[in-house]
Copies of this chain bind each other. A is one copy, B any other.
Amino acid sequence: MKPVTMADVAALANVSKSTVSQYINNRYDYMSEETKRRIEEAIRQLGYKPNYVAKSLKQKQTSTIGVIVANILHTFSTQVIRSIEDVCREARFHAIVCNADDNPQQEKEYIEMLRAKQIDGLIVFPTGGNIDLYQTMVKEQYPLLFVDRFVKDLPVESILLDNEKASELAVDHLVESGYRKIGMLTTSLHSNITPRIERINGYKKALEKHGLPIREEHYKGVDVRQMDQVLAEMFRLPEPPDALIAGNDLTLMEILKFAKKHNLSIPRQVAVIGIDEVSFSGIYHPPLTTIVQPAFEMGKQAAESLLAQIKGSDRERKEIQRFAPKLIIREST
């Protein structure tokens, strides 16, 4: 009873399917006003809706892209997704979003399933664990774009934050404000998640630039669950840091929690600066100085670039685009 197809409207309108098809897709064809009206009438009367699956099969394109993020719960991810969705809507595309949870196996399954579904392109926050798969895709010229994380030796367009710059901004600001024993904490460095590594590197370079010593005991990359302990150790040091850079929002939370628990006054006893903006930075006590990444612009750029790849416009494509972080000075430093 339900599915009314093109054949039905063709029959009712007394024309052939192809005429209907033409009517649907390109009104510019000059078709007699008469048949036009008849077709229109028929489709209205039948409540006909074209079936895009059939169309996709024929045309080999689904107007759908896939977005594979590490975890949609991260603010950064949701902001990027939001922008992607916005530009997709403009282009009449849809986005399938998937959580890989930093699990290469899961990432792999998603990529394969999505490609089997003939998705037109893929934006991924790569786990870094499927080099072969990535490689296959570039070899096949499949529209692909990485966000947030850098994968070495792979010619894939990538939208990244200038992570070293982010740390540098933090260090510069701290130094200008008179701090000299600047520490940095971030989440685990074990996996090959490049932003974390780059941020640590940027931190070290910036210290050097200012002629400050790099002390092993002042920077750590550890699992969130160990942060409390690591922080405790750091502040038991003969020379504890007088300022702390949080490598990301999760870390910032832990630092704040620690400070609260031990009654460390910010910034009097420790200055704190976070990389990644957090919703409450403005209303915290004290208001938090942060380094924000332009998540929305990054998402927009990612989607636009991917769509450009899909449309096959052979525009210049910068392989790597680094976006500039921005320092927002508040009162925690």
Contacts and interface: CB of A to CB of B under 8 A. Distances in A.
Interface of A: 2, 49-54, 56-57, 62, 64, 71-73, 78-79, 81-82, 85-86, 89, 92, 94-99, 106, 112-118, 140, 253, 256-257, 260, 278-280, 282-285
Number of copies: 2
Contacts of A97: 81, 85, 95-97
16 contacts: A49-B116, A52-B116, A53-B56, A53-B57, A53-B117, A64-B96, A72-B82, A82-B99, A85-B98, A92-B113, A94-B98, A95-B97, A253-B279, A278-B279, A284-B285, A285-B285
A2 B140 contact: yes
Given A253-B279, A257-B282, A280-B284, A96 B96 contact: yes
Contacts of A140: 2
A262 to B, nearest CB: 13
A138 to B, nearest CB: 14
Contacts of A115: 49
A256 B115 CA distance: 47
Contacts of A62: 53, 117
A52 B117 CA distance: 5
A15 B26 CA distance: 42
Contacts of A114: 94
A77 B302 CA distance: 22
Nearest to A114: B94
Contacts of A79: 73
A31 to B, nearest CB: 23
Given A53-B62, A54-B57, A71-B82, 20 more contacts: A49-B112, A50-B116, A51-B57, A52-B116, A53-B56, A53-B57, A53-B117, A72-B81, A72-B82, A81-B97, A82-B99, A85-B99, A86-B99, A89-B106, A94-B114, A256-B283, A257-B282, A260-B285, A280-B280, A285-B285
Contacts of A95: 96-97
A81 B97 CA distance: 9
A55 to B, nearest CB: 9
Q: Which of A53, A64, A114, A140 has the most CB of B within 10 A?
A: A53
Nearest to A261: B283
A91 to B, nearest CB: 12
A97 B114 CA distance: 15
B57 A85 contact: no
A217 to B, nearest CB: 25
A113 B64 CA distance: 11
Contacts of A92: 113
Nearest to A260: B283
A253 B57 CA distance: 49
Given A52-B116, A94-B117, A260-B285, A78 B72 contact: yes
Contacts of A117: 52-53, 62, 64, 94
A118 B283 contact: no
Nearest to A258: B283
